[in-house]
Structure 1
């Protein structure tokens, strides 16, 4: 996409600038370079499903973040932080709509909330993929919203695995310098992760990382 192409189509949506999905769709259909078609399609998935902000629009910040992936930047921390922030916001307000990738949230639900067969070798197998396993599972789509609410309200302590069955117990990062929390960077800012929650979730040995004078 040229700068002129973007300038002609970018729109202000709330506090961010976005490109309409329909413009990217037209670009995918008309582009002559197959690799670039796939790149624009992948960007659309990131903007519409993984980091949604404005309905049917891709936020400018997502475009900048997507451009950095070729440089080896992993999207995982940003995905986790946006999920964490959105769920926390809904909980504090006791209402609201989750803004994030619902499919990845479903994977997290299956990892922690339901007992599954624990196979130890999976944690050490390079070929094992939790996402592929979840995608291959048969899912019911006839569960009503009321049943979901009742299920989550009635969860007992024994129903929750605070550590995923494929997670290898290890030291957990819980401080940053002199601060008793770890900052988690996301696309639109940062969120704090408190140590008491980590202790409750993982019950693992804690350590203070070396920051080498990093402010």
Structure 2
């Protein structure tokens, strides 16, 4: 692995720009044509957020002695805490309405923002060997064999209990839970912990069809268990993939780790509720987040709260860990490749540098590319390129300056607002002039504040 450590100042220069020797970006297929145009209108009534029942998992966790729970968290991170997250589904739907498939960010007012690997890692604290040792999406031919070894079930039983739902192969958790209960009764805590962790991976981190632990989840958990790979890129990939799919179709189901996405949302969108939290002293951030009391809101109320922010009062760095380095690119490109259990996508740290406490500057638009495809389409060459990109990662040290933006970025961001407003409302909606005027006002305000900050 070639690892590069950069200062925040260097990020403003050509380090983030593509070079001829860079790893090619995986190609787009027909699924991604909507990246080049406005997505269809979104009917939130046709958006579902499917979440599995976690009663069996919660009962299993409560049955563990405190010392076993401590060993569990040391090995698997804070994933069990996700069972206690009370998700407000309207918040997820409201955020979906501002998702931009073209740039892979939540885009509203003068803000671009997206969950990052560092933020998800700060919450979950999943241990791994090295940052670039990740899940690479392998064939699932040995999933039944993996399950046999991990859970202690006979091969015959594993094969006989495998089910197919749509195009998804897997095992119902109700069946695997019987083994969890047995190990709890027999006090086989190692087996019990492994079965419980697999359940969390299958029902929360990588949810498939209702109540099913998929083959893909078994493969992810196997490499985490046996090779200590970093699962965060795959978890983040599923989040961005499902947002893009639903936004492109204008309907569908949000199928990702909804608990984790919701925690990220409130960390940035609830400044009053999170104001009194001290993140890095007596308790992990996720423990404090689960104890927050967030007043219930409907989709319109969440959307109004979101749209009330501009770049100067948005909570850019709420989850940041002091001293943590930032992954800014893989393969020398502007983006970070993300391989999930259902497909490939990427995100561009250069678009959200203010979340890292750094200065936001304009990216190389001419060479910007938002790759996106699903594994079922068999993009073998694209998948190989994504894997190779992780052999060369670029890191940046955290900036002590605080969030800010350059003039060229603010102007480019305002131009995007104008293009979007013109394309969406041209010759059809009297709100067009109002929206364009609002974009101009935001630009003028941002430039004035940026000049003051830079001075």
Supply the distance in 2 between the matched residues of 1:181 and 1:166 (Cα, whole angstroms). 20
Aligned positions of 1:70-149 closer than 5 A: 70=225, 71-115=227-271, 116-117=274-275, 122-123=279-280, 125=281, 127-140=282-295, 142-149=296-303
1:26 aligns with 2:181: no
Aligned-residue CA RMSD (Å): 3.1
Aligned positions of 1:176-187 closer than 5 A: 176-187=330-341
Match of 1:164 among 296, 318, 329: 318
Equivalenced residue count is 205
Deviation string, structure 1 residues 159-205 (Cα, Å, up to 9, x no partner): 53233353447764333335332212223332122354234654637
Deviation string, structure 1 residues 119-139 (Cα, Å, up to 9, x no partner): 7x845x5x5411011122234
Question: What is the Cα deviation at residue 44 of structure 1?
Answer: 1.5
Question: After TM superposition, what 4+ stretches of structure 1 lie above 6 angstroms from structure 2?
Answer: none
1:190 aligns with 2:344: yes
Q: Return the structure number with greater relative CO, CA threshold 8 A, min gap 6.
A: 2
Deviation string, structure 1 residues 80-116 (Cα, Å, up to 9, x no partner): 2211222232333343332112221121012212223
Deviation string, structure 1 residues 22-70 (Cα, Å, up to 9, x no partner): 2112232344453223322321221112211111111111112112223
Task: Assess if the C-alpha contact under 8 Å between 2:269 and 2:305 holds in 1.
Answer: no
Equivalent residue, structure 1, for 2:329 = 175
TM-score normalised according to structure 2 size: 0.40
Supply the distance in 2 between the matched residues of 1:114 and 1:204 (Cα, whole angstroms). 22
CA pair 90-168 structure 1, distance change in 2 beyond 3 A: farther
Gaps of 5+ in 1: none
Supply the distance in 2 between the matched residues of 1:162 and 1:85 (Cα, whole angstroms). 23
TM-score normalised according to structure 1 size: 0.77
SS of the residue aligned with 1:5? helix
Specify the structure having the higher radius of gyration (Cα): 2
CA pair 73-146 structure 1, distance change in 2 beyond 3 A: same
Gaps of 5+ in 2: 1-152, 362-389, 394-455
